[in-house]
Chain A
Amino acid sequence: MRPFTYERAASPAAAIAAVTATPGAKFIAGGTNLLDLMKFEIETPTHLVDVRSLPLATIEDTEEGGLRIGALVTNTDLASHPRVKRDYGVLSRAIVAGATGQLRNKASVGGNLLQRNRCPYFYNTAVPCNKREPGSGCSAIGGVSRSLAVIGTSELCIAQNPGDMAVALRVLDARIEAMNAAGKTRTIPIAEFFRLPDFTPAVEFALRPGELITAVTLPPPIGGSHHYHKVRDRASYAFAIVSVAAVLHEDGTGRVAFGGVAPRPWRVERAEAELPQGSEAVVAAAFDGAKPTQDNAFKIPLAERALALVIAEGRG
């Protein structure tokens, strides 16, 4: 870990101003990912602006009947919020499927969206990685890749987005509010928030320099039965091999997104239109164009099975 300076911001505007003014500065909230990355010197911020005392930790109803979730709401508080449990069950289930109680108590909604990938080569600073050092190469291609992405990858990177919460947010069409140095807030649909690697795998999020996530909004509830099934090698405290977030309606329609398979929560609207035809049709369309490795090709049939399980649960 390299030496860094630290301050606690008094307002969102002050936090953004501090990060903008200092080259190499970063926001820190729960720190559950950033601090690990700093210890490995994968992240080397010169200055940390602690946003935890900002007034962004509330959950409010929106005028349209949705929810506005402050960026500093902890994962634990979000998962246990009565309206989330009642109207957005997929989100509650996804969150409690992730990490551990201790980590969920520290992790914030904004920070969780920004957690970085878990590719093992990203974590070894002695080997090439285009996310860490653009242009150095991708060690995962041709390496140990069982956990990595099968679709949405590029020739420069096959890392997967490891999140659970984000997969549910993708199904719910969440929107991310971000404030910039001019004090303006813009709203980013979650479908556009996570960038595919293409030619710039080091750029992972649609945030611009200095932008601070202030809230996540959910549209009004869409009803249906809510499901999150996470397949992993042990029963808890493991990243998804494949996860499925779904909202299913009685007429057989619904929404579905997959986790653990792509650099972003993987939802293909034209694929979910196939839901009434069953899991095989959905997965065939959702994973059209997939480029799995020999190690992780099983994720596609596994995704189909996990979706079939969810559909079976939905039928009760």
Chain B
Amino acid sequence: MQFTTPAGRNPIDQLKVVGKPVTRVDGPLKVTGNARYAYERHEVVPNQAYGWILGATIAKGRIIQIDTAAAEAEPGVLKVLTTLDRDPVPPGFRATVHLFGGAEIQHYHQAIALVVAESFEQARAAAHLIAVEYETAHGRFDLAAEASGAKPIADRDSPDSPIVDRVGDFDAAFAEAPVTLDESYATPDQSHAMMEPHATIAAWADGTLTVWTSAQMIGWHREDLAHMLGLDKEDIRVESPFIGGGFGSKLLLRVDALLAALGSKATGRPVKVALQRPLIINNGTRRAGTMQRIRLGATRDGRLTAISHHSLNGNLPGGFAEAAVAPTRLLYGTPNRDLALKLAILDLPEGNDMRAPGEASGLMALEIAMDEMAEKLGLDPVEFRIRNDTQVDPAKPERPFSERHLIECLRTGAERFGWSRRNPSPGAVRDGKWLVGLGMAAAYRGNLVTPSKARIRLERDGRLTVETDMTDIGTGSYTILAQTAAEMMGCPLGSVKLALGDSAYPASSGSGGQWGANNSTAGLYAACVKLREAVAARLGFNAEDAAFADGMVTSGNRSVPLAEAAKDGPLTGEDGIEYGDLDKRYAQGTFAAHFVEVGVDSFTREVRVRRMLAVCDAGRVLNPITARSQVIGGMTMGVGAALMEGLAVDRRFGYFVNNDLGGYEVPVHADIPHQEVIFLDYPDDKSSPMKAKGIGELGLCGVGAAVANAVYNATGIRVRDYPVTVDKHLAEAPQRA
């Protein structure tokens, strides 16, 4: 199905099932332990052996030799593969590093050997006996120290944006502006810290490979494996029906799948491999830390006249830039702008996608800057943002937003949160020992449209089977796809069976970039249209006139049970959604306003979040329960980013020292207070037939700044270097409140 013009009224608009607060259809499987994750799939193939990955213990240089004799002599060891056995595999899609092969070391904990043994314990113990001789080279591990050599670079995900993105005359406007701000902000390297590690079981049969893995993008993993192993992708099957969190870490193929495949090939046994947590952090990808400079110029009545946002991060040679300026392109209207990304070379684990790449980091800075500017102007921060709203792409005023209700998000949030009770003077509100502050931020995240296919089959008994390689990374894909099928075919939810996350099924959008929900359901919508046509033809109806409801197909005064259409055999509808240029003609985005109340201990400066509210404008909400879960998960991640998360690099050895979940702290239940989420109901007919948009990343965008702004309101101390920890607070405020 080509989606080239705005959606008219369609069966989804009935909202009998879609849009309803349906609990997760896969919930019972999960709470009973019957949703098997990759490493636990003991049943899929017998005689599984265990692999353990050895990571390099230098960050840059080369391997002189690897002595595996002692490891190979250990009981139970089947095989030791080393990186010296083969040439480097080519880098995967969107990736810079080569995952295995050759003597060159590009980053710490690069995989250099795999031990395959009868048991996990044997493999791990044997790996400790491998002796590696290195030749260490000088590495670059300090972003600030490498800043002077940084080069301007394009935003890989916005190829149409110029490298130095100038509109109007920023310098002149900034010089003339009566009120200006010029501040620098820093965000640290972050780990996805998903609960389930990268994990794969691989098995070969007759030259074909099956991997049971944990992947957000079935198609990308399959193509990367084919590319790296020199196989035809048709000879590879990838299965990933359940995923214990990804946050971008599982978009791209990681070394667990490659080494499981190589280990299985070498031993003739199915092999399972997981990345140990330290390797998730030092071998996997990170959200690259940034150093950002923001300059704002405004009129005295609070109209932005000039905005400049420059961001620097580091990555391996050939790596990409964290596009922190991305939200600044579209969030506020201003006639003069100057946006630029710079990239320095760092020999650290590869910087790559993490939940809301670009926007999350950029808004952490931009939305503090907006708070600071509002204060300079003596304007309420909510009102300041309202005054600078835009209904068109500021760089292309002929390009309107498809739907944009940021002002309503801001006003609704202010009303519901009791924003009017905020004391604009910082440090003025006390509750016992606590200094209490309110903060807010606006949020923007793009809505990405991308093709997605699905197949739906009407079985003889009237039940429906949906097949697509769409993944559910904890987001609720199973549930919203079931709702879509039930709505389109006029069936109860319980009659829809889902089969997801398998490369044997039609290729979907996959999960990432908050594009999964809208695109995968739109692809299934297209398949359902085909099935409705097939059903109508079989029953002798005109498809245009037939209504599908309550298990019946009705046209005029004739009504036939849906199952009747399949009495002679199943009927199948298979199609996908493909998009025209509506996302070029219209800026498609999602918007939110975040409000946060914090308490800051007046003695120790410990920060505790007390209340949070998000008001979201993200198109049609397909399921308010799963959508809310996405948003509160994002808000929780935002609290982590604001207050505690940060990878600490050792600048001598070149690795992240806090490489486990004891050292890399993410919020625990005690950190997260009451969270409230409000969805505005603005279906977007330019987005897809579903009229939905992304939501999973919007929940994170802006939250960090809202927390930081609340801390400022509580204390009067502005920390511009995340996370906002006690030590930074004390450095800014040596005197006790």
Interface residues of A (CB under 8 A from B): 1-3, 39, 41, 118, 120-121, 123-124, 126-127, 139, 142-144, 146, 229, 231-239, 241, 298, 301-302, 305-306, 308-309, 312
Contact = CB atoms under 8 A, between A and B. Distances in A.
B318 interface: no
A127 B653 contact: yes
Nearest to B609: A235
A94 to B, nearest CB: 17
Given A3-B125, A309-B603, A309-B604, A234 B644 contact: yes
B726 A236 contact: no
Given A2-B125, A41-B128, A302 B730 contact: yes
Nearest to A121: B657
B433 interface: yes
B217 to A, nearest CB: 32
A139 to B, nearest CB: 8
B389 interface: no
B265 to A, nearest CB: 28
B205 interface: no
Interface in B122-160: 124-125, 128
Contact of A142 (B605, B643, B652, B657): B652
B9 interface: no
A144 B650 contact: yes
A236 to B, nearest CB: 4
Interface stretch (B292-300, B328-336, B659-667): B659-667
Contacts of B655: 124
Contact of B726 (A229, A233, A239): A233
Contacts of B604: 229, 231, 302, 305-306, 309
A236 B670 CA distance: 6
Interface of B is mostly: loop
B124 A1 contact: yes
Interface in B612-651: 643-644, 648-650
18 contacts: A1-B121, A121-B657, A123-B660, A127-B653, A144-B648, A144-B649, A233-B643, A234-B643, A234-B666, A234-B668, A235-B668, A236-B668, A236-B671, A237-B668, A302-B727, A305-B605, A309-B433, A309-B604
Contact of A309 (B601, B648, B669, B731): B601
Interface centre among A41, A124, A146, A234 (most CB of B within 10 A): A234
Contact of B671 (A1, A118, A123, A235): A235
Nearest to A120: B657
Contacts of A2: 125, 128
A48 to B, nearest CB: 15
B658 interface: yes
Nearest to A3: B125
Contacts of A238: 665
Contact of A118 (B601, B662, B665, B736): B662
A242 to B, nearest CB: 8
B141 to A, nearest CB: 12
A150 B604 CA distance: 18
B57 interface: yes
Interface in B265-295: none
B668 A126 contact: no
B725 interface: yes
Interface in B101-139: 121, 124-125, 128
Interface in B720-737: 723, 725-727, 730-731, 734, 736
> Which interface residue of A229, A301, A305 has the most chain B CB atoms within 10 A?
A305
B606 interface: yes
B4 to A, nearest CB: 49
B608 A120 contact: no
A306 B603 contact: yes
Given A144-B648, A238-B665, A306-B603, A298 B433 contact: no
Contacts of A301: 730, 734
Contacts of A298: 726-727, 730-731
Contacts of B725: 233
Contact of A143 (B652, B660, B669, B723): B652
A121 B652 CA distance: 12
Contact of A146 (B124, B433, B648, B671): B648
B433 A231 contact: no
A18 to B, nearest CB: 23
Contacts of A231: 604, 606, 726
A305 B604 CA distance: 6
A309 B658 CA distance: 30
Contacts of B652: 142-143
A236 B669 contact: yes
Interface in B664-691: 665-671
B195 to A, nearest CB: 15
B603 A308 contact: yes
A118 B670 CA distance: 23
B312 to A, nearest CB: 22
Contact of B727 (A120, A139, A146, A308): A146
A53 to B, nearest CB: 25
Contacts of A306: 603-604
Contacts of B125: 1-3, 41
Nearest to A235: B670
Top 6 closest pairs, chain A to chain B, by CB: A126-B57, A235-B670, A309-B603, A236-B670, A298-B727, A120-B657
A314 B34 CA distance: 52
A305 B655 CA distance: 33
Contacts of A237: 668
A238 B666 CA distance: 10
Contacts of B433: 309, 312
A45 to B, nearest CB: 14
Contacts of A312: 433, 603
A234 B645 CA distance: 10
Nearest to A295: B727
Contacts of B643: 233-234
Nearest to B640: A234
A227 B155 CA distance: 53
A288 to B, nearest CB: 20
A1 B121 CA distance: 7
Contacts of A143: 650, 652-653, 657
Contacts of A144: 648-650, 657-658
A231 B604 CA distance: 7
B593 to A, nearest CB: 26
A120 B647 CA distance: 12
A127 B649 CA distance: 14
Contacts of A121: 657
A2 B74 CA distance: 11
A234 B667 contact: yes
Contacts of B666: 234
Contacts of A120: 657-658, 663
A312 B434 CA distance: 13
A232 B731 CA distance: 17
A312 B432 CA distance: 11
A142 B653 CA distance: 11
Contacts of A118: 662
A144 B725 CA distance: 16
Given A139-B653, A302-B727, 9 more contacts: A1-B124, A120-B657, A124-B657, A139-B650, A143-B650, A146-B648, A236-B669, A236-B670, A308-B736
A302 B731 CA distance: 11
B502 to A, nearest CB: 34
Contacts of B734: 301
A307 to B, nearest CB: 9
A278 to B, nearest CB: 12
B706 to A, nearest CB: 18
Nearest to A233: B644
B654 to A, nearest CB: 11
Nearest to B723: A233
B736 to A, nearest CB: 6
A120 B665 CA distance: 14
Q: Which of A3, A41, A235, A312 has most chain B Cβ within 10 Å?
A: A235
A56 B395 CA distance: 75
